[in-house]
Chain A
């Protein structure tokens, strides 16, 4: 409507064969450097070949007129269950939570359903990559990073194993009810009992890490009859500090334990879902521990909490100099990530930090900034074309490219929309 030539282009099917092309007349938002108005972006194969006000368009390249439009790097969801979950209430469509307490050998990458309707719906918001995280027991398995395009999970993969997910043992004895504490409906268990269970669980986790270390030694010095152990084997990159442990901890005690645990085990961690961050701002900054924000569309944790909690968390982290990224956690939420980021801006987060958290900072946290996260020469051509700020709902995402391929923004919702619009 506002840009007919683009719309025609949009109707092409997903994952067309990559075709070298250039977009001209657009405002570039590289994220890694200042915005460039009236610029050209050149894509060769799956990479950004050149960009800038005067970038030359090689012969034979398809030219897209982007006057008045904007190009942003594709956004990254740093904690999702995309492809692992289809319909919330139907157990058979869930592949997030395995049985057992310690499952480091599990890999999300191989369970991602490329046909999930959620992938297309998520893309429509400008999200091009997703960190897919399992959860279950204490160690849920390996998070993977995927492009939101591809016929198979293999084609989608950016990193097949990017991090090990771990959840803190829970000690919530239960308190209060809705809105944080009028005392309705909460079946509270005695603290002593809960604490005892918690301590047991903490011990289990410690023992598991000890086992893994012992295995590491055995493996390095194998004797006759050494038999690989898939579970313990999977822990080695974590123990070696090559793969971060993504620890989900929401409350003060959990976060404190997580930090102490990382310190003791001398491992690299990413803290996820943290809400009671106030006591740890200094420590997180000093140790350069990155954070994946909690789902920001949650109610404040307690009755006396700020009306802005948890939307005010990103600003606090930014002020303390802590790196962070946004995560959706819930299968319904990914498409709202850009809006969450904008809400965080409304709550004091600088805009450029918000945009980076959705792109470059996320890529840095996950160690893929050499390929993704910004518009830079040599990086993957994962970006979006919009008519404005992608964090505003009023803005329309016009087109998306992943690995240089134009990707359709059509999805289950747009199809039903078009279908039933005809019935009006």
Chain B
């Protein structure tokens, strides 16, 4: 009781936004949604040293614990954004991309021409343009990023961040959304290689088209295999062998435990499933606007889908005279039913923040999937346990289970109830209350 008072006094004294780093916390008499087991109508979660020490309706609260009265509160595993740029540098400096050299002026002298042709001759997969596969989100993480605050305010405790520039954008890292230093925030790394399809122009540098990108990715994986074989042979006995050249672009690929490929339309889901299989890499697809059409393909391939919470919408400021095709409208109408279809056929899915600009809107977007047939339990898992499982982090994250990291999201009502408010989150056992956010940069864009 006194401890509660101390806590309340601290909160009142204006340090609400600061983490309350307490070794032992007990949230009692709360409704606990573990995500991995049945809901505990009235129970206790005991947290010690940043880990969950106990959970259940008969937990004995040790005397050293700070007690949070949980009556009327819902405790969830901390929400996870499985494909995120929170905490990552903004687009301008993102990923410190290695840009393909800009085309030079038209060569005029024979020497220039010679050089130019030389360069052009080399324009091919062996050059490794648009490849920063070695870059890791963990290394780019900025603990002071304002995006972390708004993400926490929305109930998120963990992001799996990815560099997003270049075809081989780099490696994802899972990190908690609060911590003193980047190094203390990381909970898993590397988790996968991000492949993006940057819009590229005609006549630029290779690869300049979708099929160019795909064949380029294919060649890189072939080269990575070759690189491994060459290194192994050399390591065995270098005598008499040409030494394999050091190639960080391939090292980065080899270090990645899985590959992430974009797939929105049915045709893209079909395409990327085939392509991923050919790459012989554990595969995760992201996008999923037409997952409702491609669910059975995903099921047959046993590939998980990260579903973008930015549901397809009418283009802003579209000519009112334009008749949108039936197919476009159907996709827009049915996209939120994708997760329910995926669950029906046993495909693992997770929601990611995608293009939704404000985390606060993410739960609202998730509710759309529920309205389209997804159960609340599955929706919760799609924000917690499933993303952890998809990236092999479910031994430490994603559910309220003993021994896992104490990342919790505590609401004053049901997570998907619009009226519910976030009370606080625990991240690594430290408490964060909703904090004022920097004003959104473009309120216009959120309409």
- Stretch with Cβ within 8 A of B (4 or more), from A18-26, A150-158, A189-197: A189-197
Does chain A have a CB within 8 A of B235?
no
Asked if A229 CB lies within 8 Å of chain B CBs, one says no
Quick one: CB contact mask for B319-345 with A, threshold 8 Å, 1 for yes?
Answer: 111111111100000000000000000
Interface of chain B residues 305 through 328 with chain A (CB within 8 A):
315-328
B327 / chain A contacts, CB cutoff of 8 Å: 303
Number of A-B contacts (CB under 8 A): 36
Which chain B residues lie closer than 8 Å to A191 at the CB level? 317-320
The listed residue (B315, B320, B325) touching A188 by CB distance below 8 A is B315
- Which one, A171, A176, A180, A190, contacts B317 given CB within 8 A? A190
Instruction: Indicate if A302 sits at the interface (CB-CB under 8 A).
Output: yes
Task: Tell me the minimal C-beta distance from B208 to chain A in angstroms.
Answer: 13
Q: Give residues of chain A (159-186) contacting chain B, Cβ–Cβ below 8 Å.
A: 171-173, 175-176, 180-181, 183
Whole-angstrom distance between the Cβ of A254 and the nearest chain B Cβ: 10
The answer to whether the Cβ of A418 comes within 8 Å of any Cβ in the partner chain is: no
Chain B contacts of A181 at CB under 8 A? 324-325, 328
| A62 interface contact, C-beta 8 A | no
Report B-chain residues with C-beta under 8 Å of the C-beta of A252.
321
Contact A194 B319 (CB under 8 A): yes
Determine whether the beta carbon of A303 is less than 8 Å from that of B325. Answer: yes
Asked whether B325 lies within 8 Å of A180 as measured between CB atoms, the reply is: yes
**A42, chain B: closest CB distance, angstroms:** 56
Q: How far is the CB of A309 from chain B (nearest CB, A)?
A: 13
Which residue on A lies nearest to B325, using beta carbons? A303
B319, A304: Cβ atoms closer than 8 Å: no
Cα A251 to Cα B322 in complex, Å, equals 10
A173-B325 contact, Cβ under 8 Å, with A188-B315, A191-B317: no
Assess whether B326 is in contact with A304, with CB atoms less than 8 Å apart: yes
B328 close to A173 (CB less than 8 A): no
Determine the chain B residues whose CB is within 8 A of the CB of A175 once the complex forms: 315, 318-319, 322
Residues in A whose Cβ lies below 8 Å from that of B321: 171, 251-253
Q: In the assembly, what is the distance between CA of A173 and CA of B322, in Å?
A: 9
CB <8 Å contact, B323 and A173: no
Task: Give Cα distance in the complex from A176 to B320, angstroms.
Answer: 14
Residues of A within 8 A of B322 (CB): 173, 175
Closest to B199 in A: A185
Report the Cα distance A183→B316, complex, angstroms. Answer: 14
Q: Which residue of A lies closest to B210 (CB)?
A: A184
Is B323 a contact of A192 with CB atoms below 8 Å?
Answer: no
8 Å CB interface, B379-405 against A = none
| A206 CA / B380 CA spacing, docked (Å) | 61
Among candidates A171, A194, A304, residue contacting B323 with C-beta atoms closer than 8 Å: A304
Q: For the complex formed, measure the closest distance between the CB of B248 and the CB atoms of chain A, giving whole angstroms.
A: 34
Q: Name the distance in Å between A197's Cβ and chain B's nearest Cβ.
A: 13
A181 to B330, CA, bound (A): 14
Cα A399 to Cα B389 in complex, Å, equals 80
CB distance from B128 to the nearest CB of A (A): 27
Question: CB-CB < 8 A to B319: which residues of A?
Answer: 171-173, 175, 191, 194
- Expressed in whole angstroms, the Cα–Cα distance for A192 and B316 within the complex equals 10
Measured in the bound complex, the distance between the Cα atoms of B323 and A176 in whole Å is 11
CA distance A192 to B318 in the complex (A): 8
Bound CA–CA A191/B318 (angstroms): 6
| Contact residues in B for A253 (Cβ distance below 8 Å) | 321
B317 and A302 contact, CB distance less than 8 A: no
- Give Cα distance in the complex from A180 to B315, angstroms: 15
Contact partners of A176 in chain B: CB under 8 A: 325
Bound CA–CA A303/B326 (angstroms): 8
Separation of A302 and B323 alpha carbons in the complex (Å): 8
Give Cα distance in the complex from A275 to B324, angstroms: 17
User: What's the nearest-Cβ distance from chain B to residue A90, in Å?
Assistant: 21
For B328, list chain A residues within 8 Å (CB): 181, 183
Please give, as numbers and ranges, the residues of chain A lying within 8 Å of B317 by CB-CB distance.
Answer: 190-192
| Residue from B315, B319, B324, B327 whose CB has the most chain A CB atoms within 10 Å | B319
User: Given the complex of chains A and B, what is the CA–CA distance between A194 and B317 in angstroms?
Assistant: 10
The CA of A252 and the CA of B316, in the complex, are separated in Å by 22
Q: How far is the CA of A229 from the CA of B231 in the complex (A)?
A: 83
A sample of 26 inter-chain contacts (CB < 8 A) reads A171-B319, A172-B319, A173-B318, A173-B319, A173-B322, A175-B315, A175-B318, A175-B322, A176-B325, A180-B325, A181-B324, A181-B325, A181-B328, A183-B328, A188-B315, A190-B316, A191-B317, A191-B318, A191-B319, A251-B321, A252-B321, A253-B321, A302-B323, A303-B325, A303-B326, A304-B326
Q: A173-B319, A175-B319, A191-B318 are in contact. List 15 more A-B contacts (CB 8 A).
A: A171-B319, A175-B322, A176-B325, A180-B325, A181-B324, A181-B328, A183-B328, A190-B316, A194-B319, A251-B321, A302-B323, A303-B326, A303-B327, A304-B323, A304-B325
Sorted nearest first, the 7 A-B pairs with minimum C-beta distance are: A303-B325, A190-B317, A173-B319, A191-B319, A191-B317, A181-B325, A175-B322
